[in-house]
């Protein structure tokens, strides 16, 4: 082959390679004349080769900025890189100076950036979707394993390790066949079935699991992926057990609420008392109820009885301090005919009458020592002797006792048997005084008001200031005193509205018992009122350190509190004093 032929072949191959390059290529001579122009350049610039070759570059590249940069490259022989819009398309230009046969020129390589941007955008979307898929898989409490159509595991979440003991990175090195062979999960068994299948199995770790598998097919109906879900049944059973206990608790709580519906209270203190009473009602333990006079000890004893298994049997209440000492033994234990002067017939005692039921011994601290020993015998032996009798009588009676005294102190002073105290005090229930559960006062007042109005055929209402006074009073007589005061107000008030000045004077005075005003000289009344106003707000700010809480406590608008603070230059900074 001649040299000319080889050269022609080389030129032909060069032209072919140039025309098929994915990027645009333009050759420009030192004089600025275009000498070559490939197909990609024609596409981007919108001009054919024939109309460009042999022309000055300024006829083809019409952008003034680009023309300027091409001239610079031709003159300085320095490469240049720039981004410019051509036909509303972003194009990256790379201007490279070249020398051929002693002639200087340049090579311009450029490409459409739009396609690259779209590709980058798609890659970012794919990357984001992959991250979201990973997050979804990792958020699953169940173990998830994804395998390709050949059974090779390509993805596994962290829950798989918790359930099977395999770390995800270990699983990725195995196939489903290997997992089953090693006795971890029978995934291969369900993989063979093209429909969704669920199997239950016990792992070699001892855990019981539920494995389900779904097959994912492509548009041609060919298997692409197998997704397997592993659910830890052992863990679920452990979680269900406390839920069942919780449900049982809520059922008991709802039952408790139904049972206490007739008892008026709103305080957490009284709620605790009733919860304890409701719990002890279910058993036969001896209960000792303590609390000041009038707090409702008998109410709690009846609540225990009504919720006990003995509720269909008798309940007999005895006030140990109200029966004369010489008659108390006969009343409690009965007597035989002729046991003493006047005992003309046999008499059953209250303990016998309470058989198969409950006996409530109120004011148990008043019981004399000689009777304490007989009560102790009953608690120990479940039997009594009638006065004048010598035959023991077996009884089935539950004892609930109550006292408003400190029996522990009586025991210390030898006024009450310690062994009897311990027998009675198996389940102690203390009812706090009304002054320690002031949240109960308003609902109790409302209940008593309704009952007394109905009883006397009247209609009465109580304003807020009266409620405040009642709640501020300490109620030494507790609930019993409160009931008596409400009845007094219903009967004695002048109109349908009960006014503050109609309250007993000791209750009205208690509203102001904690307020001190130190004005030791005669001053104008306006000035005295301002002193009082400032002191009240200052004291409230010291206590609450919040204008919102101060406003609520003083029953004023927030704006009024701010006005008073501004007037007297007060602040609510918790780190400073006033």
* 416 inside domain: yes
SS3 of 409-437: HHHHCCCCCHHHHHHHCCEEEECCCHHHC
| Residues 211 and 313 placed together within one structural domain of the fold | no
Q: Mean pLDDT score of the chain, rounded to an integer?
A: 82
Paired with 179 in beta bridges are none
Q: Say how many C-beta atoms besides its own lie within 10 A of residue 296's C-beta.
A: 23
Is residue 189 predicted with pLDDT exceeding 70? no
> Quick check: 436 and 269 in contact, CB under 8 A?
yes
The CATH number of the domain where 74 resides is what? 3.30.450.20
Measuring CA to CA, how many Å separate 517 from each of 242, 308, 474, 528, 577? 59, 55, 22, 9, 20
Question: Is 517 contained in some domain?
Answer: no
Q: What pLDDT is attached to residue 574?
A: 42
Q: Are residues 495 and 529 in the same domain?
A: no
φ/ψ of 339, rounded to 5, equals -65, -30
Residue 499 has a CB neighbour count (10 Å cut-off) of: 14
pLDDT-based confidence at residue 117 (cuts at 50, 70, 90): confident
Higher pLDDT: 250 or 137? It is 137
pLDDT for the residue numbered 390 = 85
Collapse the DSSP code of 557 into the 3-class scheme (helix H, G, I; strand E, B; otherwise coil) and give the result: coil
Q: Are 374 and 329 in contact (CB under 8 A)?
A: yes
For residues 207 and 265, membership in a common domain is answered with: no
Q: How far apart are CA 163 and CA 266, in angstroms?
A: 48
Q: How confident is the model at residue 409, as a pLDDT?
A: 94
Asked if residue 283 and residue 300 are part of one domain, the reply reads: yes
Ranges 109-123, 183-197, 261-275, 399-413: which has the least confidence: 183-197
**Domain-embedded: residue 573:** no
Query: Looking at the domain assignment, is residue 245 inside a domain?
Result: no
Residue 261 CB: number of other CB atoms within 10 A?
8
- Among 408, 432, 456, the domain boundary falls at 432
Using 50, 70 and 90 to split pLDDT, how confident is the model at 255?
Answer: low
Q: Are residues 307 and 408 in the same domain?
A: yes
What is d(CA 454, CA 263) in angstroms, rounded to the nearest whole number? 19
Asked whether residue 246 is assigned to any structural domain, the reply reads no
Is the pLDDT at 509 greater than 70, yes or no? no
- Cβ-contact 479, 434 below 8 angstroms: yes
Which of 90-104, 274-288, 494-508, 547-561 has the least mean pLDDT? Answer: 90-104
Angle at 32 between CA 26 and CA 34, to 5 degrees: 35
Tell which wins on pLDDT, 499 or 136: 499
- Who has greater pLDDT, 13 or 187? 13
Are 357 and 418 within one domain?
yes
To the nearest whole percent, how much of the chain has pLDDT over 70?
85
Instruction: Check whether residue 111 and residue 136 sit in a common domain.
Output: no
**Least confident window among 259-263, 442-446, 476-480:** 259-263
414 with 470, same domain: the answer is no
Q: How far apart are CA 418 and CA 373, in angstroms?
A: 11
Output 163 or 392, whichever has higher pLDDT.
392
Which of 245-254, 366-375, 507-516 has the highest average model confidence (pLDDT)?
366-375
Rounded to an integer, the average pLDDT of 208-215 is: 80
> What global pTM score does this model have?
0.51
Mean pLDDT computed over 21-28: 84
Backbone angles phi, psi at 517, to 5 degrees: -120, 115
Give 518-531 pLDDT, tens digit per residue: 566 677 777 777 77
Judged against a pLDDT cut of 80, whether residue 169 lies above it is answered with no
Confidence of residue 288 (pLDDT cuts 50, 70, 90): very high
Q: Which domain holds residue 332?
A: 257-432
Q: How far is it, in rounded angstroms, from Cα 144 to Cα 128?
A: 20
Between strands 358-362 and 315-319, the pairing is parallel
Asked whether residue 451 falls in the same domain as residue 556, the answer is: no
Count of domains forming the chain = 5
- List the 34-37 sheet strands across, edge first: 34-37, 24-29, 103-112, 89-100, 80-86
Q: What confidence category does residue 270 fall into, taking pLDDT thresholds of 50, 70 and 90?
A: very high
Mean pLDDT of 97-107: 78
Q: Which residues lie closer than 8 Å to 392 by C-beta, 6 or more apart?
A: 381, 383, 384, 385
pLDDT value of position 256: 52
Confirm if 222 and 149 have CB atoms less than 8 A apart.
yes
Distance, in Å, from the CA atom of 90 to the CA atom of 112, rounded to the nearest integer, reads 6
**CA-CA-CA-CA torsion for 113, 116, 122, 125, nearest 10 degrees?**
-70
Residue 367 CB neighbour total at 10 angstroms? 23
C-beta neighbour count of 262 within 10 angstroms: 10
Considering the domain boundaries, does residue 241 fall inside one? Answer: no
What percent of the chain has pLDDT above 90? 30
pLDDT at 101: 65
Query: Do 204 and 98 fall into the same domain?
Result: no
pLDDT 10s digits, 366-391: 998 888 998 999 999 999 888 888 88
Average pLDDT over residues 331-338: 86
């Amino acid at each position: 082959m001649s040299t000319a032929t080889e050269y022609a072949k080389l030129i032909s191959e060069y032209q072919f390679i140039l025309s098929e390059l994915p990027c645009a290529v333009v050759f420009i001579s030192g004089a600025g004349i275009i000498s070559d122009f490939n197909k990609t350049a024609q596409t981007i610039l919108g001009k054919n080769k024939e109309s460009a070759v042999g022309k000055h570059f300024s006829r083809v590249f019409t952008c003034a900025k680009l023309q300027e940069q091409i001239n610079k490259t031709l003159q300085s022989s320095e490469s240049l890189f720039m981004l410019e819009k051509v036909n509303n398309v972003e194009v990256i230009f790379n201007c490279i100076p070249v020398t051929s046969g002693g002639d200087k020129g340049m090579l311009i390589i450029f490409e459409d950036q739009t396609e690259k941007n779209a590709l980058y955008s798609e890659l970012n979307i794919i990357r984001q979707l992959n991250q979201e898929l990973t997050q979804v898989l990792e958020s699953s409490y169940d173990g998830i394993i994804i395998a390709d159509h050949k059974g090779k595991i390509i993805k596994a979440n962290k829950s798989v390790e918790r359930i099977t003991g395999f770390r995800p990175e270990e699983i990725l090195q195995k196939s489903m066949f290997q997992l089953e062979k090693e006795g971890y999960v029978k995934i291969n068994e369900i993989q063979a079935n093209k429909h969704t299948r669920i199997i239950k199995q016990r792992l070699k770790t001892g855990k019981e699991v539920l494995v389900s598998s779904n097959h994912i097919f492509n548009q041609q109906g060919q298997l692409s992926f197998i997704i397997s879900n592993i659910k830890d049944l052992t863990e679920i059973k452990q979680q269900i057990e406390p839920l069942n206990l919780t449900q049982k608790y809520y059922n008991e709580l709802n039952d408790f609420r139904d049972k206490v519906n007739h008892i008026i209270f709103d305080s957490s203190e009284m709620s605790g008392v009733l919860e304890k009473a409701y719990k002890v009602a279910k058993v036969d333990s001896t209960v000792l109820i303590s609390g000041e006079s009038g707090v409702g000890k008998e109410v709690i004893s009846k609540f225990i009885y009504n919720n006990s298994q003995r509720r269909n049997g008798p309940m007999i209440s005895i006030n140990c301090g109200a029966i004369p000492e010489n008659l108390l033994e006969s009343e409690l234990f009965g007597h035989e005919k002729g046991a003493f002067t006047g005992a003309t017939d046999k008499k059953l005692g209250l303990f016998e009458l309470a058989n198969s039921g409950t006996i409530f011994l109120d004011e148990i601290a008043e019981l004399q020592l000689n009777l304490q020993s007989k009560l102790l015998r009953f608690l120990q032996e479940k039997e009594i002797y009638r006065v004048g009798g010598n035959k023991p009588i077996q009884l089935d009676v539950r004892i609930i006792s109550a006292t408003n005294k400190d029996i522990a102190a009586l025991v210390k002073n030898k006024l009450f048997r310690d062994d009897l105290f311990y027998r009675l005090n198996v389940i102690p229930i203390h009812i706090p005084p009304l002054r320690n559960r002031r949240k109960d006062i308003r609902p109790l007042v409302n209940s008593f008001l309704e009952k007394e109005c109905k009883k006397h055929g009247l209609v009465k209402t109580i304003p807020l200031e009266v409620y405040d006074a009642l709640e501020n009073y300490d109620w030494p007589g507790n609930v019993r005193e409160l009931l008596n005061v409400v009845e007094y107000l219903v009967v004695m008030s002048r109109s349908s509205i009960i006014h503050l000045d109609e309250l007993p004077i000791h209750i009205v005075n208690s509203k102001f018992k904690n307020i001190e005003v130190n004005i030791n000289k005669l001053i104008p009344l306006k000035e005295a009122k301002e002193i009082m106003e400032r002191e009240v707000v200052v004291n409230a700010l010291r206590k609450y350190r919040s204008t919102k809480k101060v406003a609520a406590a003083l029953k004023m608008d927030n704006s009024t509190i701010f006005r008073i603070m501004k007037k007297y230059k007060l602040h609510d900074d918790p780190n400073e004093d006033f």
